[in-house]
Amino acid sequence: MRRSVTRKLAVLAVSAAVVSVGAAAPPGSTSGTAEKVPVAVGYGGAVASVDADASAAGIEVLRKGGNAVDAAVATAAALGVTEPYSSGIGGGGYFVYYDARSRTVHTLDGRETAPQTAGTDLFLENGKPLAFADAVSSGLSVGTPGTPATWQRALDEWGSRNLRTVLGPAERIARDGFTVDDTFRSQTAANEARFRYFPDTARLFLPGGQLPVVGSTFKNPDLARTYEELGRKGTGAIYHGDLGEDIVDTVNNPPVDPGSGWNARPGKLTTADLRDYRAKLQAPTRTSYRGLKVYSIAPSSSGGTTVGEALNILENTDLSKASETQYLHHFIEASRIAFADRGRWVGDPAFEDVPTRDLLAQRYADTRACLIKDDAVLTSPLAPGDPRHPVPCATGGTAAPTTFEGENTTHLTVADKWGDVVSYTLTIEQTGGSAITVPGRGFLLNNELTDFSFAPANPAVHDPNLPGPGKRPRSSISPTIVLDRHDRPVVAVGSPGGATIITTVLQVLTEFVDRHLPLVDAIAAPRASQRNAAQTELEPGLYNSDLRTRLEAIGHSFKPNPEIGAATGVQRLPNGKWLAAAETVRRGGGSAQVVVPAP
């Protein structure tokens, strides 16, 4: 039964908490010496990420007087070293910031953009869509990187330290090295074949032609030099300088091994695409749930609208008193409905008329919530509703199936002693991105443009996610900050996982808010993910439980997924205390740290 599973996870988490209350980075150390524990409680600020060295980099900046924004950039830069297959300066992301002084939430859209040459036929060849594998490991898949611009814009708007200072810890890790773990080796192994297509990638990530050995020290001197250059010259080195020219040359002339036989189709990125790129400062999404204010990222990501709509659908169901079966049933159905609407309505608002406000209206959610029955399951793919002209319980129309998104990204959450909070998800799309390393620069390029629809998912329905010149592909990234009625932070969460990000964040929030699990237990609980598909994905803790049988009796159909998401979060506690939480098991467990541990 899931309840017993949850109890076991809770016992494990409490045990971890007892051990990890003292989890703080050694002063000045960010080179493989920080202990990796999933929960920490203390003062002076907190950082949670998937990696101990990265969390320690953020803690180092907080300890030296930096704020949450400074620490978030430092942590992200360190993840670009230790989690290079999930993030880095060759990618993009979405940044959500809570300003304690004004008690307001702000966001940055740092999503990659398509080249100005891109049309709706970007991934068509001879009139037919490319195979996904052919598109990924190519210059065609690479969007204009947005991560460096996001870092600089965040520091300019809200930071207290300069880029050179906050890149310092990451530069040191890249130069001195970090310890290879099972996750890094297994991710390298999963990409070994395509890494060998590109000699620069193979030289970096397959040292001596072999997979990196667990326990060995992995160094990236090229990336250390790149970070040093960025610190010295600023991000203009990418958007107006030599580093950017190297990116353009690499995208348009992928440095492929001729003997590999791989057709690394060239892209058409230009220095003008880099020069014109901007990380967009924009208003967050906001919805109310159980008297709390839930803020997230607005389109071009679908995260804020889809999580928000699902919460609104669940608003009038008392999940705290529901059985485990009914809780998951309603969670799954709300996810199904929200994804049906996402597929039809959400794209880049610079190109598409996205009804963001209408999607987040409680009155619209109520017209969709009435589709959910306690003893029956909706059929997928479910047709979307029309948020501008809502019709209660409408089931007509043509469905827009959910398109594929790569599942490896990374998320970090940070809080500082002043009460500021950052929830930041960054990515190069799938594990290993495009597999193309910029020669001599030490980082992989993204494959974010494969998040576009290669062709309309359903020719009978307008697809808002087709490629276009300068367009941002739709994302599922959902960095979220929850405030109380006095506009003080309650919790901040986020996760990697492609389209499963949305269901992961939704489940963590409902487990925490409705089911009253401690944050680390809400993160550790076994997950389900329904994305308007015929089958719902279940992690083993649910798939191998009696709960699955009870849900199947209602009409649900399931398939196993070994791992869904890898969340982190921070929670405000009384008297200036913070709790940082990360995964206990997924991706080898995460790293929660605080500046000053509670006694």
Predicted confidence at residue 406, as pLDDT, reads 62
pLDDT tier, 196 (very low <50, low <70, confident <90, very high otherwise): very high
Predicted confidence at residue 394, as pLDDT, reads 86
The topology (CATH level 3) of 2-281+404-409+428-597 is Glutamine Phosphoribosylpyrophosphate, subunit 1, domain 1 (3.60.20)
Q: What residue spans define the domains of the chain?
A: 2-281+404-409+428-597
CA distance between the termini of the chain? 36
User: Among all chains, which residue has been given the structure tokens 């929830």?
Assistant: 423
Give the percent of the chain with pLDDT over 70: 93
Alpha-carbon gap, residue 331 to 354, rounded angstroms: 25
Element housing 6 (H / E): helix 2-20
Residue 29, pLDDT above cutoff 50: no
Residue 21, pLDDT above cutoff 70: no
Element housing 547 (H / E): helix 546-554
Predicted confidence at residue 34, as pLDDT, reads 61
Residue 253, pLDDT above cutoff 60: yes
524-563 per-position pLDDT tens digit: 999 999 999 999 999 999 999 999 999 999 999 999 999 9
Predicted confidence at residue 487, as pLDDT, reads 98
* pLDDT mean over 418-436: 97
Q: Cβ distance 167 to 152 under 8 Å?
A: no
Residue 27, pLDDT above cutoff 60: no
DSSP string, 33-75: -S---SEEEEEEEEEEES-HHHHHHHHHHHHTT--HHHHHHHH
Predicted confidence at residue 407, as pLDDT, reads 61
Q: How many of the other CB atoms lie within 10 Å of CB of 19?
A: 13
Q: Which two tokens stand for residue 558?
A: 């399931």
Predicted confidence at residue 408, as pLDDT, reads 73
Alpha-carbon gap, residue 389 to 392, rounded angstroms: 10
Poorest-pLDDT segment among 22-36, 124-138, 286-300, 398-412: 22-36
pLDDT tier, 1 (very low <50, low <70, confident <90, very high otherwise): very low
Residue 5, pLDDT above cutoff 60: no
Q: Which two tokens stand for residue 34?
A: 């920080």
Closest to 444 measured CA to CA, from 135, 48, 147? 147
From residue 80, alpha-carbon distances to 49, 136, 401, 455 in Å are: 12, 20, 33, 32
331-345 per-position pLDDT tens digit: 999 999 999 999 999
* pLDDT mean over 468-487: 98
Closest to 587 measured CA to CA, from 215, 191, 184, 189? 184
Give the percent of the chain with pLDDT over 90: 90
* pLDDT mean over 432-457: 96
Predicted confidence at residue 284, as pLDDT, reads 98
Residue 161, pLDDT above cutoff 80: yes
Average pLDDT score over the chain:
93
225-245 per-position pLDDT tens digit: 999 999 999 999 999 999 999
Predicted confidence at residue 24, as pLDDT, reads 58
Alpha-carbon gap, residue 305 to 58, rounded angstroms: 29
Catalytic residue among 6, 75, 306, 409: 409
* pLDDT mean over 336-362: 97
Poorest-pLDDT segment among 160-164, 224-228, 399-403, 527-531: 399-403
Cross-strand partners of 301: 475
Parallel, antiparallel, or unpaired: how do β-strands 591-597 and 39-49 relate? antiparallel
Residue 313, pLDDT above cutoff 70: yes
70-80 per-position pLDDT tens digit: 999 999 999 99
Residue 149, pLDDT above cutoff 60: yes
Helix ranges, 121-219 (H): 132-136, 147-158, 163-176, 182-190, 192-195, 199-205
Predicted confidence at residue 8, as pLDDT, reads 36
pLDDT tier, 404 (very low <50, low <70, confident <90, very high otherwise): low
pLDDT tier, 11 (very low <50, low <70, confident <90, very high otherwise): very low
Q: Cβ distance 437 to 204 under 8 Å?
A: yes
| 409 noted as active-site residue | yes
